Amino acid sequence: MTSEEGKTALHVAARQGSLGSVQLLLDAGADIETRDFQGNSTFHDAVYSGHVPVVELLIDRGCLLESRNEKRYTPLHVAALRGYVTVAQVLLQKGSDHDARCKMGKTALHLAAFMGHEEVVRLLVYSGADVSAEDHYGKTALCCGAKGANEATMQLLLDNTTTNRSNDQLSGLLVEAASNGNAAVVRLLLKSGANPKTYHARVGLQRAVRNGHKTIVKLLLENGTEVNTVGPYGNALQRAASNGNEAVVKILLDYGADVNTEYEYHDNALQRAALSGNEAMVKLLLENGAEVNAVGPYGNALQRAASRGNETVVKLLLEHGAKVNAIGPYGDALQLAVSSGNEAIVKLLLENEAEVDAVGPYGDALQLAASSGNEAVVKLLLENEAEVDAVGPYGDALQRAASSGNEAVVKLLLEKGAAIEIQHLEMALLAAIAKGVQPVMQVLNATGVTLNARHAFANEVLVQAAHDNRFEMVKLLLENGANANAKDKYDRTALLVAAVASDEAMIKLLVQYQARVNSGNDQESALQGEAGNGHVAVAKLLLKEGADANGGTRRRGSALRRAASNGHEAVVKLLLKSGGDFLLYSKSSMFKRNK
């Protein structure tokens, strides 16, 4: 009987170091080479726990010295990984191969170096292990040791390696050591000839900054690593500002870091600090010459702080001359504060002369507040004379509140004089219908507005309602004169989206209002859209209403081909019976019908 891990009594006794039990089990005929579910033998288990007497007994009883588990670890690999120098010594004396490779190409020396087991490393090196052996990723024991070994272990490996200490390979070890905060090893590598001005050293600086290893940061900079070098996420100062490590930022500034450096799609240091809400960091950068109004790919520092709702940082930036009305890629500070729903920052910005009606890429502040349904912010903006009927790129405030379904905001806007002109009410009602928001529809209907289903916007609303399976909304629009064959901005009709959704009731309703069953877009017809789904009843309905079995675009294949490719046998039979041509080809097909 085995455990859930597949271990037998012999495995367990070996791992626990029970010499007597192991002897009894072997004498009783237990299989010395039995394996658990990970391929470990009893020998692996004995070595794993470091029980020398059990290890020696198993060797005497004839176990395989080079036994392998699923990772292709030999017992020597396990001893090296665990740091058992006495066990490793026994294995080597009995003839274990010190250069045996595991599945990833690592030797026991790789593992001992990675784990920082100095005595095991020393034993393996003195036993003739190949210090320059590379695993499948080109890593030597030195590379592994740079991550976890101490200075003495690394010195031992360096003294016994054939690596050219002046070349890029030795400098590459700086990356591993710096990443893991191994200052002693970084110092040793530099002393041994690693070039602090190479690409690898610069990457090491970035890694040390990212992980907050200030001793290593200072050590590399003292030895000449370029402080302003740029990596994939910006320069060292930008990384430090993101992480909020004030001590590291001070070191970088002391060594001449350019506080205003920008890099492609990344915020500069001040913008990153503002985004993270680190007041002390923002203050430090400003004191060291950071340009408060510099614009990055996501806006300036004030906009970044406003977007995250950090009031103290917003105050600090304003005190240092931040331009409150500057508009960035995502709007001005007021619009971003409104989007984040921070009433205190909205109030602060208004007190500092923010333009309440400024229009950004997504509309003005009131429109954004109406979209998010923040009644308190809407009230605050209206108290500051926001223009209630201004129309932005996504409609006016009333329309956006209606679309988001916020009844309280809709009422508030109406009370403040929104929709004096009838078309504003009509658009708001259509927006509410598009989302199926009944309470908002009732509020708007109470104003006396009538549904103008012939408005151009109604085309989008009809298709959207059909797409969202809002049967009653579609019916309401059609009853009020909406064009059943209207197309949205994606060139889709309501019938097409209903067919793709296999919505039989919706299709019947649309056909009742003269929807053309053979209309579609440049991708597919209604029948083609349905054929891929395999709903026989819907396909039958479309054919009954006059759908052409061979109609539509060839771009994605005929209806018959779609049904066949998706394994919808019943639909294939129906289409063939209705005249479907199995020789029709798709536009991308290699095989075309001979004419």
CA-CA distance, 225 to 483, in Å (whole number)?
69
Residue 572 confidence (pLDDT): 80
Please answer whether residues 512 and 536 qualify as being in contact, where contact means their C-beta atoms are separated by less than 8 angstroms. Answer: no
CA distances from 374 to 345, 377, 484 (A): 14, 6, 36
Position 167 in a domain: no
Position 425 in a domain: yes
- Residue matched to tokens 């304003």: 318
Residue 594 confidence (pLDDT): 34
- Residue matched to tokens 């007994």: 57
Position 380 in a domain: yes
Position 163 in a domain: no
Return the sign of the alpha-carbon dihedral for residues 316, 319, 325, 327: negative
pTM: 0.74
Position 215 in a domain: no
Helix (H) or strand (E) holding 489: none
Position 362 in a domain: yes
CA-CA distance, 436 to 219, in Å (whole number)?
63
Position 409 in a domain: yes
Count other C-beta atoms under 10 Å from residue 400's C-beta.
26
Position 364 in a domain: yes
State in Å, rounded, how far the first CA of the chain is from the last one. Answer: 71
One-letter amino acid for residue 190 of the chain: L
Domain count, the chain: 1
Residue 595 confidence (pLDDT): 33
Strand residues in 336-446 grouped as ranges (E): 391-392, 395-396
Q: What is the pLDDT along the chain (595 residues), one digit of tens a residue?
A: 455 578 999 999 999 999 999 999 999 999 999 999 999 999 999 999 999 999 999 999 999 999 999 999 999 999 999 999 999 999 999 999 999 999 999 999 999 999 999 999 999 999 999 998 999 998 999 999 988 888 999 999 998 886 555 456 778 889 889 998 989 999 999 998 889 998 889 999 999 999 999 999 999 999 999 999 887 778 999 999 989 999 999 999 999 999 998 877 889 999 999 999 999 999 999 999 999 999 999 999 999 999 999 999 999 999 999 999 999 999 999 999 999 999 999 999 999 999 999 999 999 999 999 999 899 999 999 999 999 989 899 888 988 988 888 888 888 888 887 755 667 777 777 877 877 777 877 877 777 777 777 778 888 888 998 998 989 888 888 888 889 998 988 889 999 999 889 999 999 999 999 999 888 777 788 888 888 788 889 889 888 988 888 876 666 667 888 878 788 888 888 878 888 776 554 444 433 333 3
- Residue matched to tokens 């001590």: 247
Q: What is the CATH number of the domain that holds 372?
A: 1.25.40.20
CA-CA distance, 130 to 537, in Å (whole number)?
72
Identify which of 415, 419, 421, 416 has the alpha carbon closest to the alpha carbon of residue 432.
419
Residue 421 lies in domain: 356-443
CA-CA distance, 255 to 241, in Å (whole number)?
16
DSSP summary character for residue 235:
E
CA-CA distance, 553 to 324, in Å (whole number)?
53
Joined together, the tokens standing for residue 514 give: 């003269």
Please answer whether residues 186 and 177 qualify as being in contact, where contact means their C-beta atoms are separated by less than 8 angstroms. Answer: yes
Please answer whether residues 238 and 264 qualify as being in contact, where contact means their C-beta atoms are separated by less than 8 angstroms. Answer: no
Three-state SS for 360?
A: strand
Residue 521 confidence (pLDDT): 77
Residue 235's DSSP bridge partners are: 230
One-letter amino acid for residue 274 of the chain: A
